[in-house]
Structure 1
Amino acid sequence: MDSVTQKHRKDTRKSLDFYLISISTSRFAKYGSARSPEDAEDISGELMEELVKKNGHHVLGYELVSDEPSYIKKAVMDALQKEADVIVTTGGTGLTPADVTLESLAPMFEKQMPGFGELFRYKSIDQIGSAVILTRAAAGTIGDKAIFCLPGSPGAVELALSEIILPEAGHIVKHIR
């Protein structure tokens, strides 16, 4: 890491508030609007919660929603009201007709962070090879909050949080505020 990047990271908050949203129509049909990943047997949600806490941050809440634009938008709006610094969604970023996370959230982004999706896909090549072209992982800001939209697989969640989001979250929040 160069000295300019180190200088930019200086004085960043070490503990941030995260809100986690899992997007899955099938899981929602089975468990309803679960408020914890354990209540929804959500492995990716449990992994998100574990990684966030392990890195010294707080989880303000968790929500399971169906792959429906109105549910997705409402969950993000609720997270914004709860003063989350970072909102992470998992699921609904693929190419099936039911995958509508980005169609729901990208129009809400005031600024996009294309570098997140590019870096995520680059790092994913080792795990899934050329299948990276199927993911539309993305990130952006709404006001002074960062929103990350991840695929639903545990491998994608671990990679994105461990190698990109958690190392940069404080730096990102510092810049958007």
Structure 2
Amino acid sequence: MSSSTKEHKKGTDKAYSFSIITISTSRFDKYGSTDAPSAVDDVSGQLISDILKAAHNNVLCYSLVADNIADIRKAVLSSIFNGADVVITTGGTGLSDSDVTIEALCPLFEKELEGFGELFRLKSLDQIGSATILSRATAGIIQGCAVFCLPGSPKAVELAIEEIIIPEAGHIVKHARS
């Protein structure tokens, strides 16, 4: 990391409050609303929580919602209202008609972080090859809060959280709130 990058990131190496939202109609239909990934057998949601806590961050809340634009928006905006610095969604980023996470959240982005999706797909290339083009993972800023939209795969979640989100969360929040 260059000295100018180090200076730019100065003061951002601290704990942040994260909200985790899993988007899955099938899981929501089976379990309903919940505030714990362990209660709904949500491997990716639990993995996100575990990795964030191991990195000394605060998991402010967890929620499970169906693939529904209004419900997704409501969950994200509620998280922001309740003080999340960063919201991470998992699921609903694929190509099927029911995958509407991107359609729900991109219109709310005040700024889109195109580089996140590009870097995520580049890093995913080693894991899944050219199938990475099916990923619509993206990120943006809503009301000073960083919002990341991840696929539902545990390997995708682990990659994004460990290699991109944790290292850059503070940097992003610093600029989003300045």
TM-score by length of 1: 0.99
Match of 1:118 in 2: 118
The CA deviation at 1:143 is: 1.6
Give matches, 1:16-31, under 5 Å.
Answer: 16-31=16-31
Match of 1:127 in 2: 127
Please say if 1:99 is aligned against 2:116.
no
Match of 1:170 in 2: 170
The CA deviation at 1:11 is: 1.1
Structure 1 residue runs of 4 or more that deviate by more than 2 Å after TM superposition: none
What is the identity, as a one-letter code, of the residue corresponding to 1:105? L
RMSD: 0.6
Q: Secondary structure at the match of 2:11?
A: coil
Tell me how far apart the structure 1 counterparts of residues 95 and 53 of structure 2 sit (CA, whole Å): 31
Tell me how far apart the structure 2 counterparts of residues 144 and 106 of structure 1 sit (CA, whole Å): 15
What is the identity, as a one-letter code, of the residue corresponding to 1:8? H
Please say if 1:87 is aligned against 2:63.
no
Q: Secondary structure at the match of 1:160?
A: helix
What is the identity, as a one-letter code, of the residue corresponding to 1:60? L
The CA deviation at 1:34 is: 1.4
Match of 2:59 in 1: 59
Please say if 1:35 is aligned against 2:19.
no
> Contact 2:23–2:90 at 8 Å: present in 1 too?
yes
> Contact 2:80–2:143 at 8 Å: present in 1 too?
no
Aligned residues: 177
Sequence identity (%):
58
Match of 1:158 in 2: 158
Q: Which structure 1 segments of 5+ residues have no match?
A: none
Tell me how far apart the structure 1 counterparts of residues 18 and 27 of structure 2 sit (CA, whole Å): 22
The CA deviation at 1:175 is: 0.9
Match of 1:143 in 2: 143
Tell me how far apart the structure 1 counterparts of residues 130 and 13 of structure 2 sit (CA, whole Å): 36
Tell me how far apart the structure 2 counterparts of residues 12 and 71 of structure 1 sit (CA, whole Å): 32
> Contact 1:13–1:174 at 8 Å: present in 2 too?
no
Q: Secondary structure at the match of 2:5?
A: helix
Q: Secondary structure at the match of 1:98?
A: coil
What whole-Å deviation, never above 9, does each CA across 1:23-61 have from its counterpart, x for those lacking one? 001000111011100011000000000011111100000
Tell me how far apart the structure 1 counterparts of residues 126 and 47 of structure 2 sit (CA, whole Å): 20
TM-score by length of 2: 0.98
Tell me how far apart the structure 2 counterparts of residues 133 and 25 of structure 1 sit (CA, whole Å): 24
